[in-house]
């Protein structure tokens, strides 16, 4: 959409976006900010100085194209909370204490953000669900706050079901499956798969979660990175049972971009694409566990042996922290001796560190499967690319999301992960053995009716996702309706002040 297309009707709608400082939260919220700008809004994306740099090229490019979008960078008060200078992302924290300090530092920006919003005269705030204090800012400014949820409707629905019915109390064993009552599909979990914050007896953690939920209920509604063709039944369930309005506008990555290719990547992008071009269709497994996952050495070894034993071709994104929290060779020292060199020499695999053009890799015809931690962004990207998945949930709402893939969509093969993992405690990870991993790889890349059925279902959903964000698609229409409503709220406020 060209900047002039909607300029006459809604270009005066001024919207501020406030993300949580984690890549999996910031990137989709930036996508939404860019979508709003492309539909005529005047957009400001508020973040810290270090995080602003990663979005500068996208924002400058959109601004040069005539869209009204800009960054507002704030200095994180690191000294006040005892954080190392330059640590500005939850993906870089290495302990619960450090995570808490970063969360506290974000809260200390409240006054600065409120003063900026007041001076800017914004009409609406869109902020991450974790930033519950932003609803207080919105209330004082007499403007609506929209919540951004970075998980899907199924995760919200399962969370509500557990909170309302406590079905886990009906089983004695941690490993005995229990059914979640009242959901649109039959879904089973075990106690081991429920997030720690649900089961916590820590009063402070429970109070924080309650404040977030209360702030969500006080907000104007929720923006969802999802689409009706994927989760219509769970949208209806959540809205009916929780009484909140939602707008599904996803997959947001499909609206504005694919991957940003770093011009200074030393030719890495070209190397990856050239390697893929040499492979047979559906023959390569892409292995990536998101920006937050740092496996202990033992699990890295099991994955490496499984890739080797299955004799598959692969691209594997490895992250490994050094003991002091800095990156230390990203796991190279912890692979089997000679593994990386042997795989590269035999042209069987590539190991990448820190960054990979995930969307472009998943959409390459040589790729035939995706091993993922079931983060919501990666789940949507696998759907858009029509890829069958090896599901390996670890933390957050990932076990909930796995149920969508394995029990509802039926586009995934579970690797056998059984226990929710607190990533601040690497020793608590239940190691998945190479035999289980090899079995899942062989099934997904081996062909056959079962995997071809998964692939076709994924491709059908991928086609639906593209239609959803096209003009008159479900997500497109949802966005337009929301922006029209926000415009009406703004006009009513202005009329009452005359």
* Residue positions annotated with a catalytic role: 25, 128
376, two tokens: 């919501």
Q: Residues 6 or more apart from 358 whose CB is under 8 A from it?
A: 259, 286, 288, 317, 378, 381
**CA distances for 200 relative to 148, 194, 197, 204, 205, angstroms:** 24, 10, 5, 10, 7
Are 292 and 92 in contact by the 8 Å Cβ rule? The answer is no
Distance of CA 141 to the CA centre of its chain: 29
**CA distances for 83 relative to 49, 162, 209, 247, angstroms:** 15, 36, 23, 36
- CA–CA separation, 432 and 288 (whole Å): 16
Residue where the block lists tokens 């649109």? 184
Q: Is 290 exposed, middle or buried (0-12, 13-18, 19+ CB in 10 A)?
A: buried
Element (H, E) at 18: strand 14-18
Burial 399-425 (b: 16+ CB within 10 A, else e): bbbbbbbbebbebbbbbebebbbebee
């Amino acid at each position: 959409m060209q900047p002039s297309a909607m300029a006459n009707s809604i270009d005066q709608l001024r919207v501020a976006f406030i993300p949580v400082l984690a890549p999996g939260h910031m990137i989709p919220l930036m996508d939404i900010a860019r979508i709003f700008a492309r539909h005529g809004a005047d957009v400001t994306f508020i973040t810290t100085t270090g995080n602003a740099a990663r979005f500068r090229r996208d924002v400058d490019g959109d601004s040069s194209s005539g869209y009204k979008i800009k960054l507002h960078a704030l200095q994180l008060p690191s000294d006040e909370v005892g954080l190392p200078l330059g640590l500005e992302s939850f993906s870089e924290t290495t302990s619960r204490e450090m995570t808490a300090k970063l969360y506290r530092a974000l809260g200390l920006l409240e006054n600065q953000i409120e003063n900026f919003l007041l001076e800017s005269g914004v009409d609406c705030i869109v902020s991450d669900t974790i930033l519950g204090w932003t609803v207080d800012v919105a209330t004082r400014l007499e403007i609506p706050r929209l919540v951004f949820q970075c998980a899907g409707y199924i995760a919200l629905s399962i969370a509500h079901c557990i909170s309302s019915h406590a079905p886990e109390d009906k089983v004695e064993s941690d490993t005995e499956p229990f059914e979640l009552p009242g959901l649109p599909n039959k879904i089973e979990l075990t106690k081991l798969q429920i997030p720690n914050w649900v089961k916590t007896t820590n009063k402070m953690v429970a109070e924080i979660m309650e404040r977030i939920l209360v702030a969500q209920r006080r907000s104007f509604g929720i923006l969802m990175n999802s689409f009706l063709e994927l989760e219509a039944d769970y949208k209806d369930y959540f809205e009916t049972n929780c009484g909140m309005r939602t707008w599904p506008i996803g997959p947001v990555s499909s609206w504005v971009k694919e991957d940003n290719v770093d011009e200074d990547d030393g030719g890495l992008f070209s190397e990856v694409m050239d390697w893929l071009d040499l492979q047979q269709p559906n023959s390569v497994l892409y292995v990536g566990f998101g920006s937050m996952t740092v496996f202990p050495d033992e699990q890295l070894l099991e994955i490496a042996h499984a890739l080797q034993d299955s004799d598959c071709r692969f691209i594997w994104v490895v992250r490994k922290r050094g003991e002091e929290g800095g990156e230390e060779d990203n796991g190279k020292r912890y692979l089997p001796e000679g593994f990386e060199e042997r795989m590269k020499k035999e042209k069987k695999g590539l190991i990448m560190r820190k960054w990979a053009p995930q969307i472009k890799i998943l959409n390459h015809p040589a790729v035939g499967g995706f091993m993922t931690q079931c983060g919501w962004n990666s789940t949507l990207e696998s759907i858009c690319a029509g890829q069958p998945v090896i599901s390996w949930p670890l933390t957050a709402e990932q076990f909930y999301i796995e149920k969508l893939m394995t029990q509802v969509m039926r586009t995934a093969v579970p690797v056998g992960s059984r226990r929710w993992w607190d990533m601040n405690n690497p020793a608590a990870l239940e190691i998945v053995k190479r035999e289980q991993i090899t079995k899942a790889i062989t099934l997904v890349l081996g062909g056959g009716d079962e995997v071809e059925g998964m692939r076709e279902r994924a491709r059908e959903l991928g086609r639906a996702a593209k239609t959803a964000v096209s003009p008159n698609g479900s997500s497109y229409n949802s966005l337009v309706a929301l922006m029209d409503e926000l415009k009406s709220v703004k006009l009513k406020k202005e009329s009452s002040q005359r």
